[in-house]
Chain A
């Protein structure tokens, strides 16, 4: 009681976000029951027919479901890995830049794309990457290469998706790493210099170890996205020619759930994704604790 009396402002401060969390994260969870129903809007959650695991069975009965899941995993994994490596490396390089003005300029420039929507970028990429007079292909052709069908060939499509996502997000991702770097005690570098360590040695033994904890946090949290390959992006870029390598769970849910009106099925896939993500976060959290001796929560 005395505790509450003393700290009530703190409790009050946490109240809005608690309410928010309950209203927007916990209450809607009731909708999960739709995953086990043949949901019809007119009948509602209480009136719709229960179909058990039919919606899940339907996901795995589709002839292309393995491929869709594989596409999702592959694209998402590539994004996770490179979205960790690119900002990490970029932050180290940027940290070595001594000119403050240049550093800031670069930093702002690279994180700007983060604020553009994929609807916009989709249109731009379609033009820039066109094999028919697109800017990128015109450069390739002028130095003697063949035009590359970035958006019409399956394997190139994956490359395009991953590369454009990295380009869009790495600047933003680098912010956390740069923040971690600014926390490194300068005396460590001074001491290393006195001991005769080169810049490379300083990076290897001071900078990188200082960044490891935050890298583990970012990496662990990112694993939760292992089934999120990026709906906005793929939806705006894909076409029938690259269905084989570009169709992912989310576009598939969109077509059946939203366009086809099959809400129960869409919810089932959502639940399936959440469960997998939760398991992965759990495992990676344990692993981070066990091997890196690092606790996130």
Chain B
């Protein structure tokens, strides 16, 4: 009996020991990850150094390290056995700027994998990188990251270290900082994008129009006649059930970029799934505007007539481009740069295909509308424990000076990296395209620390309009636009800028409100469900009234109040 008791005691004791050991191990790790001590000493030395000379240098010797993480686009290609962690761009940064970019982890970004991993890393207290780049597609995540308290006042660093070119670009739209303000501090640096980059227009098969002897449609009614002809009297001889006159999809959203249906609602006076300024000057959620009913009824009619894909509800953006590229679609909504990708590939399937950009058609009251593109497409977050925050500015200042709009004679006049996005032929002239660059072209600009390197919002449109008006291409951007963006791109930019006042941005860019946190998912769910059911004819268009009622009473009204409180505060 005694012996048994002793064995049991021994077992229990060893169990306790194991638990304590495991717990100790855990807490030790926690300490090293979250302890402020090394960071404090780091800042101190920095401050000490700053008193003597600024830590900012154009090149660091010995090299400094910036850690980061990557969500790699599954379509991004690498060559020469390179990876996102180790490639021509990281080598370049090491050699030219003395900055060693190290990645803590990387993940192929499908099904929100990057956002999910970041969110888990944040919640479980894993080490966060020095520099974190997050796109606006994960807007809520950006807000949560800022609120996590792991990142520092980026605005102050920006004022201190950013160069004139970057600051001027940032000043083009004062609103870009708005979403990231916390008690007057700018907690993240917005990544600037080309203005109008995701504004869309309609791409139409001009060769079909020509064969049918029809003019480009300017109203919804005319558009219907064109779609009818594309389907039932197809100029390429396709049978009606093989043609998709208008390739759109709305698996995830009615407000997206390629294959986007939101312009149809725009023709009736609203843009769904974003906050618009209403008639009374207050913000209003677009999907509850009465105009939505007409838009949905129209989509239902088009579905019944076979103008839109049968499985549009299952189609995401990339899927909508498939029939366009296959030569079986007549019209696809999309950004002005689509002539380069993906529409360029149509020629492989239908050599006679000619895609031309046209303006968005107007509705019965002459209205038209599309969603706008924010001047910023993401943020740079700077870890509060980062030892050398000035290094990030060395990198980005260089980008703005040399890569944002490289001038003739500069180090990047022909392209980013020779043998990657361009090559030089025997006579020393730059050549582009898969057939000219050995091993194929890779989009090396995506390897850079901050997405797309650096962009000055108005630069691209200026260059494109210049080209469209017959200016000779001299700078690299102009040449690049001319060579790599598809030959219709300047024309598309002109079409886009021909309708400058119909672009409506999402006016609410703040963090998610209290009601959004608990109700937004449900509201989104019933919205998508109702929209889809009406389009597919499972419910009459009047079902939208019921939805609006439910939406308002289930938290929508409260959300609108909160959003407007934020908006009013902003305009003070």
Contacts and interface: CB of A to CB of B under 8 A. Distances in A.
Interface of A: 1-4, 15, 18-19, 22-23, 27, 40-42, 44, 58, 62-64, 119, 126, 130-132, 151-152, 235-236, 239-241, 243-244, 247, 252, 255-256, 258-263
A63 B313 contact: no
Contacts of B310: 131-132
Nearest to A54: B518
A186 to B, nearest CB: 43
A240 B119 CA distance: 25
Nearest to A18: B18
Given A119-B110, A259-B140, A261-B141, A4 B311 contact: no
B7 A3 contact: yes
A62 B526 CA distance: 12
A41 B313 contact: no
Nearest to B2: A1
A259 B112 contact: yes
B3 A1 contact: yes
Chain B interface, DSSP helix/strand/loop, else mixed:
helix
A240 B531 contact: yes
A1 B536 contact: no
Contacts of B37: none
Contacts of B150: 42
B341 interface: no
Contact of A1 (B6, B314, B525, B526): B6
B545 interface: no
Contact of B7 (A4, A252, A256): A4
**Which of B3, B111, B528, B529 has the most chain A CB atoms inside 10 A of its CB?**
B529
21 contacts: A1-B6, A22-B22, A41-B122, A41-B144, A63-B554, A64-B525, A131-B310, A131-B311, A152-B311, A239-B251, A240-B525, A241-B529, A241-B533, A243-B525, A243-B528, A243-B529, A247-B525, A255-B525, A256-B521, A258-B119, A261-B512
A261 B520 CA distance: 12
A267 to B, nearest CB: 11
Contacts of A152: 311, 313-314, 536
B529 A22 contact: no
Given A130-B311, A241-B533, A42 B518 contact: no
B10 interface: yes
A215 B68 CA distance: 51
Given A62-B522, A119-B111, A27 B23 contact: yes
A22 B19 contact: yes
In the A-B complex, the 8 residue pairs with the closest CB atoms: A240-B528, A42-B149, A240-B532, A42-B148, A241-B532, A261-B144, A132-B310, A243-B529
A22 B15 CA distance: 10
B309 interface: yes
A259 B532 CA distance: 22
A255 B311 contact: no
Contacts of A252: 521
Contacts of B147: 40, 42
A241 B140 contact: no
A258 to B, nearest CB: 6
Contact of A27 (B6, B26, B122, B550): B26
A1 B144 contact: no
A258 B7 contact: no
Interface of B: 3, 6-7, 10, 18-19, 22-23, 26, 110-112, 115-116, 119, 122-123, 125, 140-141, 144, 147-150, 251, 309-311, 313-314, 512, 517-518, 520-522, 525-526, 528-529, 531-533, 536, 550, 554
B536 A260 contact: no
**Which of B10, B125, B532 has the most chain A CB atoms inside 10 A of its CB?**
B532
B18 A64 contact: no
A244 B532 CA distance: 12
Contacts of A64: 522, 525-526
A52 B23 CA distance: 27
Nearest to B116: A258
Nearest to B4: A3
Contacts of B6: 1
Contacts of B532: 239-241
Contacts of A126: 314
Contacts of B525: 64, 240, 243, 247, 255
Nearest to B254: A240
A151 B314 contact: yes
Given A236-B111, A255-B525, 16 more contacts: A1-B6, A41-B122, A41-B123, A41-B125, A41-B144, A41-B148, A44-B125, A62-B522, A63-B554, A235-B111, A239-B251, A239-B314, A241-B532, A243-B528, A252-B521, A263-B123
B309 A19 contact: no
A59 B110 CA distance: 29
A240 to B, nearest CB: 4
A260 B313 contact: no
B383 to A, nearest CB: 14
A240 B534 CA distance: 12
Contacts of A27: 22-23, 26
B98 to A, nearest CB: 34
A289 to B, nearest CB: 27
Nearest to B15: A18
**Which of B22, B522, B531 has the most chain A CB atoms inside 10 A of its CB?**
B522
Contact of A19 (B10, B22, B26, B119): B22
A18 B522 CA distance: 42
Contacts of A244: 529
A235 B252 CA distance: 12
A232 to B, nearest CB: 10
A260 B7 contact: no
A124 to B, nearest CB: 14
B311 A260 contact: no
A130 to B, nearest CB: 6
Contacts of A243: 525, 528-529
Given A18-B18, A22-B18, A261-B119, A241 B521 contact: no
A4 B531 contact: no
**Which of B115, B141, B150, B525 has the most chain A CB atoms inside 10 A of its CB?**
B525
A61 B101 CA distance: 48
**Which of A2, A22, A236 has the most chain B CB atoms inside 10 A of its CB?**
A22
